[in-house]
Amino acid sequence: MSLLICYATETGNAEDVGEMLWREARRRGCKSPRMASFEQLSLESLASERTVVFLIATSGQGEFPTSARSLWTCFRQKILPNDYMDKMHFSVVALGDSSYQKYNRAGRLLRARLVQLGAHQLCPPAYCDDQHEIGIDGAFQPWKHVFFEALKGVEGFERILDSKDPELSERPFVSKFRLRFCDGEHIDEPSGSAEYVRVETISNERQTSIDHFQDTRLITFNIGNHEEALRYRSGDVLMIQPENLDESIKIAVEALKLSDETLDRPFKLEPTDSNIRLPPGWLIGTTTSLRYCLKRVLDLQHIPKKSFFEILSRISKDEDEAERLAEFCQPENLDLFLDYTLKTRRTAAEAFRDFYRTASQLSHEQLFDVLPLIRPRAFSIASSPMAHPGVIQLLVAKVEYKPPIAKMADLRRGLCSCHLTRLRHGDMVFVRIRDGTFHFPSPETPIICIGPGTGVAPFRSVINDRLRIHPDSESLLFFGCRGRFSDYYFEIEWTHLEKPRIFVAFSRDQEHKIYVQHLLKKEAALIWRLLQQGAYIFVAGSAGEMPNGVCEMLGEIGKEIGGEENLVKTLETQGRLQFETWS
């Protein structure tokens, strides 16, 4: 009887959480727990499993992650009998973000389907929310306790250890990887992986006025050598593999007490268990070094989660630090944990500095236990395949702010946006294309694009494309920014185009605030006319209040002009109202 942990991920969180669960299951004495991604499984093999945890992220607009879609299609087959999975005990951990309209939809759908197919739910699902003050852990940690309790009731798992069992703390820590030094070997610096290619930066131009608080850049990459691999459509997304910033690497190297010799000593990694995967593309079969991994592979800038402190406390040989680290993990010390991590936005590198006696004892392989991998970040492509051949452009707002608790002198910096906005001509970046969430109609169908701030990026792409394919295509753009002279992106470009029609809400150029939804109201008659012609509406930008404000206004337009009560719902059902928002 063995536990299967089955994950469906787009950006890696479900896999990370799955790995945490797998380690804990192993430590508590579950016999040979296994991990598998959705794409590794067939419906038939799943149906023969007895105990499964599903970790399911929602991506796109309430969809399953790309790699999970074909198995999900099998799940939905109508011919499956309602006892098809009745031998299975399961629980679902859904990963999502409540700022999206279809919050945790994939996890909810899967749970409902499993029940329909006769599977037995071990405990209620965890609905993890990126918006929770402690992120995924907010729902995952409490779920974990309930889950292991419930698991004890399943035949074959009766003897798994309780979280407070003294035997648990006596069990030695087992690293994910075994490390073999290979002195004298050449250190590989992979120039790409199966998926990622290296592109050169051509330019990096500030788009906001120099006195504006926000530094937004238009970054242009030369894709001339990779036209095939980087073929894209309007609305697609560029995945960027960022690097840790030099200042974070410096803090970590000092805390970890790594000499140049240690940093450059070649080694190879191999998993200690077949369930552990090496980071794809970067370390498989390569000879690497800590200098390389601390730059490209291990995330030094993330805000540590509880698992970071838990693992450090278990491997620390310093009694005092081990005790303080363990305190962060106690549920009753949530305030302490929040004050130390989220309120100050303290990074993992800084935590190493604060717990330097522990950090300086970490072995190479333990760094891979403590630190998560740097995950690629997604940016909507701002260029058009037709209008900007040979390049890809991104519109990137630099994330840099003072932490909520101001006693930290240092500015906090977003890993990827800062990496990108620091790029200079000739710098190389690892990238790949991913399908976007927007599905644009053919240029004959009118579109209404609502994209304040950097939300305008996919619309610059699609509008330019449509004009080249079909010069009479009808496209409306509602853009919003603070002021005409501070952050009106692409102003000159728009004025050179006869079409589309651009409506700009300058929120702070007058006494009262004007936002995109106010302009929608002003143009209600035009919007209604285009909707009658089958227009699609697209909304992109910050997940804050804007999407709700837009929906409310569309609802009003429907009622007041068309006498239609449920315009928003109708459009959404028809796929004619689409969102791509981020927080």
Ligand X SMILES: Cc1cc2nc3c(=O)[nH]c(=O)nc-3n(C[C@H](O)[C@H](O)[C@H](O)COP(=O)(O)O)c2cc1C
- Determine which residue in the list 3, 13, 456, 572 makes contact with ligand X, applying CB under 6 A: 13
Question: Least distance from C-beta 85 to ligand X, angstroms?
Answer: 23
Beta strand ranges found along 339-427 (DSSP E): 377-380, 391-397, 400-401, 412-413
Question: Least distance from C-beta 343 to ligand X, angstroms?
Answer: 22
Site string for ligand X, 295-324 (x = CB under 6 A): ------------------------------
Please check whether residue 125 is in contact with residue 95, taking contact to mean a CB–CB distance below 8 angstroms.
no
Q: For Cα atoms 559, 561, 562, give the angle at the middle one, nearest 5 degrees.
A: 70
d(CA 248, CA 263): 15
* Binding flag, residue 14, ligand X (CB under 6 A): yes
- Determine which residue in the list 26, 47, 50, 103 makes contact with ligand X, applying CB under 6 A: 103
Question: Least distance from C-beta 241 to ligand X, angstroms?
Answer: 15
d(CA 232, CA 51): 41
Please check whether residue 241 is in contact with residue 374, taking contact to mean a CB–CB distance below 8 angstroms.
yes
Q: Which stretch binds ligand X (CB under 6 A): 39-47, 81-89, 103-111, 535-543?
A: 103-111
- Determine which residue in the list 26, 69, 102, 343 makes contact with ligand X, applying CB under 6 A: 102
**Total number of residues that touch ligand X (CB under 6 A):** 24
- Nearest 5°: phi and psi at 218? -100, 115
C-alpha separations of 232 from 175, 191, 281, 455, 461 in Å: 40, 21, 22, 18, 11
Toward ligand X, which CB reaches closer, 106 or 531?
Answer: 106
- Determine which residue in the list 80, 130, 131, 441 makes contact with ligand X, applying CB under 6 A: 130
Tokens 């990026």 correspond to 457
At 350 the three-state DSSP class reads helix
* Binding flag, residue 100, ligand X (CB under 6 A): yes
Toward ligand X, which CB reaches closer, 92 or 505?
Answer: 92
Please check whether residue 325 is in contact with residue 312, taking contact to mean a CB–CB distance below 8 angstroms.
yes
* Binding flag, residue 572, ligand X (CB under 6 A): no
Question: Least distance from C-beta 28 to ligand X, angstroms?
Answer: 24
Question: Least distance from C-beta 178 to ligand X, angstroms?
Answer: 27
Question: Least distance from C-beta 483 to ligand X, angstroms?
Answer: 29
Helix axes 546-562 and 524-532, enclosed angle (nearest 10): 80
Residue 283, amino acid: L
**Checking DSSP bridges between strand 377-380 and strand 428-434, what pairing results, if any?**
unpaired
- Determine which residue in the list 71, 93, 95, 122 makes contact with ligand X, applying CB under 6 A: 95
Question: Least distance from C-beta 163 to ligand X, angstroms?
Answer: 24
d(CA 122, CA 582): 33
d(CA 292, CA 273): 24
Question: Least distance from C-beta 111 to ligand X, angstroms?
Answer: 14
Site string for ligand X, 226-245 (x = CB under 6 A): --------------------
Question: Least distance from C-beta 425 to ligand X, angstroms?
Answer: 29
**Checking DSSP bridges between strand 126-129 and strand 501-506, what pairing results, if any?**
unpaired
Site string for ligand X, 45-84 (x = CB under 6 A): ------------xxxxxx--x-------------------
Measured torsion, CA atoms of residues 402, 404, 410, 414, in degrees rounded to the nearest 10:
-60
- Determine which residue in the list 28, 38, 93, 96 makes contact with ligand X, applying CB under 6 A: 96
Toward ligand X, which CB reaches closer, 446 or 458?
Answer: 458
d(CA 205, CA 220): 9
* Binding flag, residue 549, ligand X (CB under 6 A): no
Question: Least distance from C-beta 16 to ligand X, angstroms?
Answer: 8
- Determine which residue in the list 12, 118, 441, 483 makes contact with ligand X, applying CB under 6 A: 12
Instruction: For the segment 407-446, give every residue that binds ligand X (CB under 6 A).
Output: 437
Cis amide bond preceding 500, omega within 30: yes
* H/E stretch holding 256: helix 246-256
Question: Least distance from C-beta 477 to ligand X, angstroms?
Answer: 22
Kindly give, in sequence order, each residue whose CB lies less than 8 Å from that of residue 540, ignoring residues fewer than 6 positions away: 380, 438, 449, 450, 451, 455, 456, 457, 458, 459, 579, 580, 581
**Of all residues in this chain, which one has the CB nearest to ligand X in the complex?**
96
- Determine which residue in the list 104, 241, 344, 393 makes contact with ligand X, applying CB under 6 A: 104
Tokens 């299975």 correspond to 88
Site string for ligand X, 344-383 (x = CB under 6 A): ----------------------------------x-----
Please check whether residue 316 is in contact with residue 358, taking contact to mean a CB–CB distance below 8 angstroms.
yes
Q: Which residues bind ligand X (CB under 6 A)?
A: 9-14, 57-62, 65, 95-97, 100, 102-105, 130, 378, 437
